[in-house]
């Protein structure tokens, strides 16, 4: 099988993520995609919302796609989530499948800071979901797929909620409802 892996904090998950995933699924002819919510990203300073909330929102956002799964392995581990450890785990779990790790352009730009990034590149095929209109990828070790990108960001969503600015249009309706009910990201 050809399996796409998609790691992130998903705090909260937004349609930019889902759009990117489904476009990658089509472009690469994948059999399935596994979303891997991080416990704590090594490169992010702020503590994320609880695992429980982030997982619930992810379930709402991708639950209707039969080719998308959620793997909670990183959340079940202690401390910072290094993709290197996850890659070791998944290579053992899926020894006979081809694994593609999907990243957005922001993660491509910070890739040199990733723990054991040179080894990671040998373990998995890294795919950058590059901008259709304005390509940023130069490094030939990465597979590049060109697709339209929805300019939505979790950071901006969190800031907007804190400031009381409208965000409903940038969220899946069920995720929006969940955020409201649980008073997430409010000041």
Which residues bind to ligand ATP, rule: CB under 6 A?
8-11, 16-17, 20, 103-104, 106-107, 129, 149-150, 152-155
| Residues 22/67, Cβ–Cβ less than 8 Å | no
Q: Taking the mean position of all CA atoms in its chain, how far away is CA 59?
A: 13
State which residue, 23 or 95, has the beta carbon closest to ligand ATP: 23
CB 85 to ligand ATP: min, Å: 17
Question: Residue 50 gets which letter from DSSP?
Answer: P
CB 50 to ligand ATP: min, Å: 15
Q: What angle do CA 6, 40, 3 make, to 5 degrees?
A: 15
When CB distances to ligand ATP are compared, the closest residue is 104
State which residue, 96 or 138, has the beta carbon closest to ligand ATP: 138
State which residue, 96 or 151, has the beta carbon closest to ligand ATP: 151
CB 96 to ligand ATP: min, Å: 26
State which residue, 116 or 160, has the beta carbon closest to ligand ATP: 160
- How many angstroms separate the CA atoms of 126 and 105, rounded? 12
Contacts of 121 (CB under 8 A, 6+ apart): 141
- Euclidean distance between the first and the last CA atom of the chain, given in angstroms as a whole number: 45
């Amino acid at each position: 099988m050809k399996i796409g892996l998609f790691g992130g904090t998903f705090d909260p998950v937004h349609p930019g993520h889902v759009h990117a995933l489904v476009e990658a699924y089509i472009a690469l002819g994948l059999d399935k995609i596994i979303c891997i919510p991080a416990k704590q990203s090594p490169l992010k300073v702020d503590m994320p919302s609880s695992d429980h909330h982030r997982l619930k929102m992810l379930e709402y956002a991708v639950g209707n796609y039969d080719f998308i799964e959620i793997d909670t392995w990183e959340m079940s581990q202690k401390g910072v989530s290094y993709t290197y450890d996850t890659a070791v785990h998944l290579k053992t779990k899926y020894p006979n499948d081809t694994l593609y790790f999907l990243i957005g352009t922001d993660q491509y730009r910070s890739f040199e800071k990733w723990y054991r990034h040179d080894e990671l590149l040998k373990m998995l095929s890294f795919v950058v979901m590059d901008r259709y209109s304005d390509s940023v990828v130069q490094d030939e070790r990465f597979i590049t797929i060109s697709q339209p990108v929805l300019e939505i960001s979790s950071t901006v969503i969190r800031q907007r909620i804190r400031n009381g600015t409208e965000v409903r249009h940038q969220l899946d309706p069920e995720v929006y409802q969940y955020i409201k009910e649980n008073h997430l990201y409010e000041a």
